[in-house]
Amino acid sequence: MKRNAKIPGSRSRFLRWAFAALLCGVGAASAQVVAPDFSPVVNNEVHAVLVTPDGKLLIGGEFSNVNGQTRSKVARLHADGTLDTSFVPPLFNDAVRALALAPDGKVLVGGEFDQVDGNSQLYVARLEEDGSLDTGFSSPITAIAGEVTALAVQDNGDVLAGGRFRIELDETYEYIARLKAADGGLDTGFFPQLGDEVEVIVLQPGGGILVGGYIDPPSEESVPPRYGILRLTSGGSVDGTFELLVSGRVHAIALQPDGRILIGGDFGYIDDQLHSAIARLSANGALDGSLMDAGIRYGSVRHVIPAADGRIIVAGDWAWFPSEQAAARVAVLKANGEHDLGFNDVPTDGYADGLAMLPGGRIVVGSISNQQLPYVFAIDTEDPTAMDELEVVGTTVIWWRSGLVPALLDAPLLEASIDGATWVEVGTMTQTALGWEFTDYNPPGGAAGQFLRVSARVGGGGIQITLAPTFVIFGDGFE
């Protein structure tokens, strides 16, 4: 994306932003359309969708063929839905249900498989950046007839795996384990005792580990029973200060930029208060009453993505109360939890089982038992408030962000390059009413031409990634 640094453009951009802000204030009509230019042909269900730092899409599921080529349970797509033929993964003998990225670019894969390329490998594997199997990473899981349904990677590369599985050593490790980055070996010092299946793991700033599923840890006098969600310390013990009683499963956990937590699932009550399928919590687990009842009933929310303007994208399977219309599978809620009727719900005959959002706001959905729509499809929100553009105005770099685009978890980093290959850190951007800014930018060496890019973490559906580069622009001079 090119932006001429000598052409201010700020007035037109500001007018666009002001118009977008006005629309947000009065309730913008954010229609949607299933994107006709995104049409990968996948021959079976897609359970996991993950955006990579370069804007591509990893998908995992039960398929064996993508766009006419053999891809057994894992594939990588370009942003337009075409198959990335440079990524050739091994053959998994059963379903893939979770994907995550390591800091070094390797791909973690979890699921129901017990063989990879014909060799024993139970439920978790690691792939190189080109898709080939990382043979130096070996699964420690011993008990069969299980699955890994949740993955999260810590900053040092260690892998948190959750699901239904068992590891038998001197002790029995069940439902969640931490695997060492070096070789996949079990971290025996991480030994939480949970009561049932783990479905989602999300890392909080400061080291807290949020775990969702159907959780009922062994009762201890100092730790009250809780279901649905709990928090572990970085060492693996149950955090007794995070107290919440959820009446059913938690399928989805997402962090908001302010640190508050969105959860989705098939629950009806939290701490004996009506909160059906979605709720907002404080960073410490207290129920936040700012999210009103959206009217989701008779089903579950399986994925949650917070947007830049505070709205919430939800996916799963449910009906709306009181109409009992069982058509919604992807919908948008306002920041207060009210159903955003301006966004036309996307119906399918199955349910949405994978969800991701590309930097510009396009939503990508993986689905199950779907005949009306493909197993993986994209939605263009056509939101008039959406902006996600980088621009240089004089010596100020502005990242215009609003509307239905992914919310950032922390301040973005600005980097510069004179050749588009070697990057130099410029500094951290500051949030403003317009989005994010970096003022008094001085091109390295005073060069006339500069490439710029920004990096930022986004959160949603239990996945936290770094988008870098989100944009690359070229200015032909600075004043």
**444 and 315, same domain (yes or no):** no
The candidate with the shortest Cα–Cα distance to 424, out of 444, 440, 439, is 444
- Contact between 192 and 232 under an 8 Å Cβ cutoff? The reply is yes
**293 and 396, same domain (yes or no):** no
Q: Check the CA dihedral 135-141-143-144 and report its sign.
A: negative
The range of the structural domain enclosing residue 115 comes to 28-380
pLDDT tens for residues 399-446?
Answer: 998 999 899 988 999 988 877 788 889 999 999 987 899 998 887 655
The verdict on residue 172 lying in a domain is: yes
Which one has a higher pLDDT value, 251 or 346? 251
Q: Which residue has the tokens 């059963």?
A: 94
Average pLDDT, the chain: 85
Q: What is the CATH number of the domain that holds 424?
A: 2.60.40
Last residue in a domain, options 345, 380, 415? 380
Q: How many CB atoms lie within 10 A of CB 64?
A: 14
Structure tokens at 410: 């922390």
**248 and 397, same domain (yes or no):** no
pLDDT confidence bin for 365, thresholds 50/70/90: very high
Most confident of 44-58, 83-97, 376-390: 83-97
Beta bridge mates, 72: none
- Contact between 49 and 356 under an 8 Å Cβ cutoff? The reply is yes
Please state the separation of Cα 426 from the chain's center in Å. 27
The verdict on residue 63 lying in a domain is: yes
Percentage of the chain beyond pLDDT 90 is 57
The verdict on residue 106 lying in a domain is: yes
pLDDT confidence bin for 369, thresholds 50/70/90: low
The verdict on residue 4 lying in a domain is: no
Last residue in a domain, options 380, 398, 427? 380
**367 and 440, same domain (yes or no):** no
Q: How many domains does the chain have?
A: 2
Structure tokens at 432: 């403003």
Q: Tell me, yes or no, if the pTM score tops 0.85.
A: yes
Beta bridge mates, 76: 58
Q: Which residue has the tokens 């490439």?
A: 451
- Contact between 372 and 348 under an 8 Å Cβ cutoff? The reply is yes
Residue 35 CA to residue 43 CA, distance in Å, equals 19
Q: What is the CATH number of the domain that holds 46?
A: 2.130.10.10
pLDDT confidence bin for 10, thresholds 50/70/90: very low
Give every strand in the sheet of 33-34, ordered side by side.
33-34, 376-380, 363-368, 351-357
**119 and 184, same domain (yes or no):** yes
The pLDDT of residue 461: 52
The verdict on residue 366 lying in a domain is: yes
pLDDT tens for residues 283-292?
Answer: 999 999 899 9
Angstrom distances, CA of residue 235 to CA of 28, 170, 175, 239: 45, 19, 16, 10
**166 and 281, same domain (yes or no):** yes
The verdict on residue 1 lying in a domain is: no
CA-atom Rg of the chain in angstroms: 22
**416 and 312, same domain (yes or no):** no
* Cβ burial, residue 175 (10 Å; 0-12/13-18/19+): buried
Q: Check the CA dihedral 132-137-142-145 and report its sign.
A: negative
Q: Residue 235 — φ and ψ, nearest 5°?
A: -85, -10
The candidate with the shortest Cα–Cα distance to 199, out of 313, 291, 91, 316, is 316
The verdict on residue 3 lying in a domain is: no
**305 and 393, same domain (yes or no):** no
The pLDDT of residue 2: 33
Q: Which run of H or of E encompasses 11?
A: helix 10-26
The verdict on residue 223 lying in a domain is: yes
Q: For residue 401, give every residue at least 6 positions away whose Cβ sits within 8 Å of its Cβ, in sequence order, or none.
A: 308, 387, 388, 408, 435, 436
Beta bridge mates, 364: 356, 378
The pLDDT of residue 11: 42
**160 and 280, same domain (yes or no):** yes
**47 and 128, same domain (yes or no):** yes
Angle at 199 between CA 160 and CA 359, to 5 degrees: 80
Residue 376 CA to residue 59 CA, distance in Å, equals 9
Which one has a higher pLDDT value, 126 or 32? 126
Please list the helix, strand and coil fractions of the chain in percent, rounded to the nearest 5, in that order: 5, 45, 50
Last residue in a domain, options 362, 380, 398? 380
- Contact between 126 and 137 under an 8 Å Cβ cutoff? The reply is yes
Q: Give DSSP secondary structure letters for 187-222.
A: -TT-----SS-EEEEEEPTTS-EEEEES--PPPBTT
**290 and 405, same domain (yes or no):** no
pLDDT confidence bin for 345, thresholds 50/70/90: confident
Angstrom distances, CA of residue 436 to CA of 10, 264, 383, 408: 14, 29, 20, 11
**326 and 397, same domain (yes or no):** no
